[in-house]
Chain A
């Protein structure tokens, strides 16, 4: 299992990936696995009124990964153009106590919510993924 950021030839990064890069419209040709990296908390919330099949309360965070890995793709890109960080959203691990700026790491979970309980068709998407745990 991996937590993949997607990269276009101009080194724009997104999580999740898209059909075409939202910044420049070129194809995203490369992935970077973030599952062994740490990230910084941009913001967080604890939701106490959660939809069917979702744990209650549900703490969530938007986190930012610095991407240090040397760009592997195009050599023609200008220095200032590419991204050196990418954001992701995810649940926080049980009883995690975080503040903005804290460091967290991804922890794999097989099932983030009950796929049979909500309105979304079970077969239409994945239900596993990464929670974030304070380092």
Chain B
């Protein structure tokens, strides 16, 4: 079977942007096409990953708007919403469109515009994914993080500082990412003394709200040379998605992220890879605790051991398995629909050896993108050709 290649990638600056969603998507889309020297009219399928443009700015129908703004008509367009995992779900949809033979050139653009709202308003938009019995109590995604972090620390006897070290590590990585929202190092003390947001988690355990967009261009590997000569492309060797319960407290073990377990198993099988083969990973660190849960769920570490890897420097940029070399959602920012796409942008840059000061030695990368509090998850494995 012809594999699916990524022949172009781009991302806008993440942070507080004056541009609205249409402009952000158009900027990333245009730069992605330019990266592959592809004409907009060659695009056959155009996917837009976005959670809530209607709720955030009263603009719906963005895929059609983007096709027009880029001159990509008459490309088939579709919006992909899987809350915070919209980007990863878009990668899966874009892969399907090429792998099925339905499209010979698919442009995926993820984006979100959030910062014109206050943090608590944005939190409410995101919390609208919760079940009515959760929503009526004022449960938010940050509160799930606090509830789960307390349980994790209790069950595995992990020190509170281990969570703070995730923030310190990812902020350090973000220093070298020109697209990151926060290019600022933080020390352990700063994290540990920052204001409580959802006890035991503090301000620096949470990612910010963010505007931004990222894009990927995909085609069959047999056509890759046309857009990315000299093997200057990467291959999506494994991709899968899975769901867990909608009502978070109904999970048997609150410290196990079932959707990440299921989707990663399927992605490894498809890629004929094992966790040991992965050289670099982007995990969905919307909250520091999520980096532990995913690093265990995708099989990098045993259950309850993820915190030790951070303590021992295993996941540092110069460690055995660098995690979130981009700075993660933590420092790069988290424009919901863009985040899963931007994870693959980072892996693509790393695998092509174009990650600049963030460069690590790698041949195989893995990204895990989480919607809700693990409600829906995608895992993608990207490799050198």
Interface residues of A, Cβ cutoff 8 Å to B: 14-16, 22, 42-55, 58, 60-62, 87-91, 100, 112-113, 118-120, 124-129
Q: Which residue on A lies nearest to B127, using beta carbons?
A: A51
Q: Which of B125, B139, B245 has most A Cβ within 10 Å?
A: B139
Bound Cα distance A100, B135 (Å): 23
Bound Cα distance A100, B150 (Å): 9
Q: Is the CB of B196 within 8 A of A119?
A: no
- Other 17 A-B pairs with CB < 8 A, given A52-B120, A100-B154, A119-B125: A43-B254, A45-B146, A45-B147, A45-B150, A48-B196, A49-B119, A50-B140, A51-B140, A52-B121, A55-B138, A60-B147, A62-B147, A87-B249, A88-B133, A89-B247, A89-B248, A129-B137
Q: Which residues of B contact A50 (CB under 8 A)?
A: 120, 138, 140
Q: Which residues of A contact B136 (CB under 8 A)?
A: 112-113, 125-129
Q: Which residue on B lies nearest to A54, using beta carbons?
A: B138
Number of A-B contacts (CB under 8 A): 125
Q: Is B198 an interface residue (CB 8 A)?
A: yes
Bound Cα distance A45, B134 (Å): 14
0/1 interface trace, chain B 47-69, chain A, CB 8 Å (1 if under): 00000000100000000000000
Interface residues of B, Cβ cutoff 8 Å to A: 55, 119-121, 123-125, 127-128, 131-140, 142-143, 146-148, 150-151, 154, 195-201, 245, 247-250, 254
Q: Which residues of A contact B138 (CB under 8 A)?
A: 47, 50-51, 53-55, 58, 60, 91, 112-113
Sampled A-B contacts (7; CB under 8 Å): A44-B147, A46-B196, A60-B137, A91-B138, A119-B55, A120-B132, A127-B136
Q: Which residues of A contact B151 (CB under 8 A)?
A: 42-43, 100
Bound Cα distance A127, B373 (Å): 22
Q: Is the CB of A44 within 8 A of B127?
A: no
Q: Is the CB of A118 within 8 A of B124?
A: yes
Bound Cα distance A119, B55 (Å): 9
Bound Cα distance A119, B132 (Å): 12
Chain B residues touching A, majority SS: helix
Bound Cα distance A52, B317 (Å): 39
Q: Is the CB of B245 within 8 A of A22?
A: yes
Which of B132, B196, B249 is within 8 Å of A62, CB to CB? B249
Q: Which residue on A lies nearest to B200, using beta carbons?
A: A45
Q: Is the CB of B197 within 8 A of A89?
A: no
Q: Which residues of B contact A42 (CB under 8 A)?
A: 151, 249, 254
Q: Which residues of A contact B199 (CB under 8 A)?
A: 45-48
Which of B139, B197, B245 is within 8 Å of A48, CB to CB? B197
Q: Is the CB of B120 within 8 A of A91?
A: no
Bound Cα distance A60, B247 (Å): 15
Q: Is the CB of A48 within 8 A of B195?
A: yes
Q: How close is A116's CB to chain B, nearest CB, in angstroms?
A: 13
Q: Is the CB of B146 within 8 A of A87?
A: no
Q: Which residues of B contact A119 (CB under 8 A)?
A: 55, 124-125, 128
Bound Cα distance A129, B245 (Å): 21
Q: Which residues of B contact A55 (CB under 8 A)?
A: 138
Q: Is the CB of B250 within 8 A of A22?
A: yes
Bound Cα distance A15, B250 (Å): 8
Q: How close is B63's CB to chain A, nearest CB, in angstroms?
A: 23
Q: Is the CB of B250 within 8 A of A14?
A: yes
Bound Cα distance A54, B120 (Å): 10
Q: Is the CB of A51 within 8 A of B124?
A: yes
Q: Which residues of B contact A61 (CB under 8 A)?
A: 147
Q: Which residues of A contact B131 (CB under 8 A)?
A: 16
Q: Is the CB of B121 within 8 A of A89?
A: no
Q: How close is B120's CB to chain A, nearest CB, in angstroms?
A: 5
Q: Which residues of A contact B124 (CB under 8 A)?
A: 51-52, 118-119
Q: Is the CB of B142 within 8 A of A49?
A: yes
Bound Cα distance A46, B146 (Å): 8
Q: Which residues of A contact B127 (CB under 8 A)?
A: 51, 118
Q: Which residues of A contact B137 (CB under 8 A)?
A: 58, 60, 89-91, 112-113, 129
Q: Which residues of B contact A45 (CB under 8 A)?
A: 143, 146-147, 150, 198-201
Bound Cα distance A125, B146 (Å): 25
Q: Is the CB of B150 within 8 A of A87?
A: no
